[in-house]
Amino acid sequence: MKVLIVGSIALDSIETPAGKVAEVLGGAATYSSVAASFFAPVQLVGVVGEDFPKRHEKIFRPRKIDTLGLERLPGKTFRWAGKYFSDLNQRETLLTELNVFDRFSPVLPESYRGTNYIFLANIHPALQLKVLDQVKSPKLIVADTMNLWIATALEDLNKLIARIDILMLNDEEARMLTGEYSLAKAGKKLLGRGLLAAVIKRGEHGATVFHKQGVFFAPAYPLEDVKDPTGAGDSFAGGFVGYLARSGKKTFSEIKRAAIYGSVLASFTVQEFSLKRLLSIKPVDIEKRFREFKKLVSF
């Protein structure tokens, strides 16, 4: 089964205790598409400027990532710059230049509209809703969001939540959205809104899946060297949705496995800057690390 992924494509400049890179490939749709492509063909929707390097575009096609929905607009590509501190859990945004992304208004190519698995990466919920208006037969809709939209576009976000199956957000956002400090309570409240599942991402502490059949905890892999946390959450989401598209089932048991595959993909992403590690792994590496996750929590 194919996965439709809509979101940002960016040129990132990043500084972490492990080093510094300038204008490398980034963006939520980029990370999640590459991660998902290990499991299922991807249909990408995003926008780049005239300056988007051809070499970046070249990474998509050999990976079964359809770029028919990748729009190239006059102007510059979205740029983001950030600096991570020693604990790697906190970052400071140094620059956000929306550029062509400011005019992003996703229009799905005809060949995308019948796709059943949909991942709406973090963009304005009104745009996420606009995508949903264009799909014909969704089987599973997963959406990510952020604090900015909870604060400034709550009405649209609430409409979105009513139309999706699985919401992904981080711990602080879950607290902000539900008004509950306890993540167990926050997860329960989110489920109460009719979601099939709520996935609360907790960075280096893993992710918790709330489902009416129970709670599942996916740990983070204990890496000795984390070079760049950028894209970890998006890689998690891509691996998660990609696995479910390949599986074709959306039982709690498959959602659990999807969360582990998501964690596997995220664990590779943070080992190098940008998508360097993610682009170098093979399916066998994914399966090996999946088994290591199993060992990490089996007793």
Specify the residue, 151 or 297, whose C-beta has the smaller distance to a copy of itself. 297
Distance CA 209, CA 261 (A): 13
Our CA dihedral for 179, 164, 167, 145, rounded to 10 degrees, sits at -80
Q: Which of 96, 152, 251, 253 contacts a copy of itself by CB under 8 A?
A: 253
Specify the residue, 8 or 16, whose C-beta has the smaller distance to a copy of itself. 16
Residues between 212 and 241 with contacts to a copy of itself, criterion CB under 8 A: 214-217, 219, 222-226
Q: Which of 145, 208, 235, 247 contacts a copy of itself by CB under 8 A?
A: 208
Cβ neighbors of 221 (< 8 A, separation 6 or more) are 263, 264, 267, 289, 292, 293, 296
DSSP line for 229-245:
-TTHHHHHHHHHHHHHH
Specify the residue, 51 or 254, whose C-beta has the smaller distance to a copy of itself. 254
Question: DSSP 3-state helix, strand, coil percentages of the chain (rounded to 5)?
Answer: 40, 25, 35
Residues between 63 and 92 with contacts to a copy of itself, criterion CB under 8 A: 86-88
Question: Counting contacts by CB under 8 A, is residue 299 touching a copy of itself?
Answer: yes
Stretch that binds a copy of itself, among 20-28, 138-146, 147-155, 250-258 (CB under 8 A): 250-258
Number of residues in contact with a copy of itself under rule CB under 8 A: 36
Cβ neighbors of 227 (< 8 A, separation 6 or more) are 16, 18, 19, 270, 271, 272, 273
Question: Counting contacts by CB under 8 A, is residue 247 touching a copy of itself?
Answer: no
x/- track of binding to a copy of itself for residues 158-197 (CB under 8 A):
-----------------------xxxxx-xx---------
- Work out how close the CB of 244 gets to a copy of itself at its nearest, in angstroms, rounded to a whole number: 14
Specify the residue, 74 or 214, whose C-beta has the smaller distance to a copy of itself. 214
Token duo for residue 147: 């604090």
Distance CA 159, CA 118 (A): 17
With CA atoms as reference, report the closest residue to 201 among 244, 172, 242: 172
Q: Residues in the site for a copy of itself, rule: CB under 8 A?
A: 17, 86-88, 181-185, 187-188, 202, 205-206, 208, 214-217, 219, 222-226, 253, 256-257, 259-260, 294-299
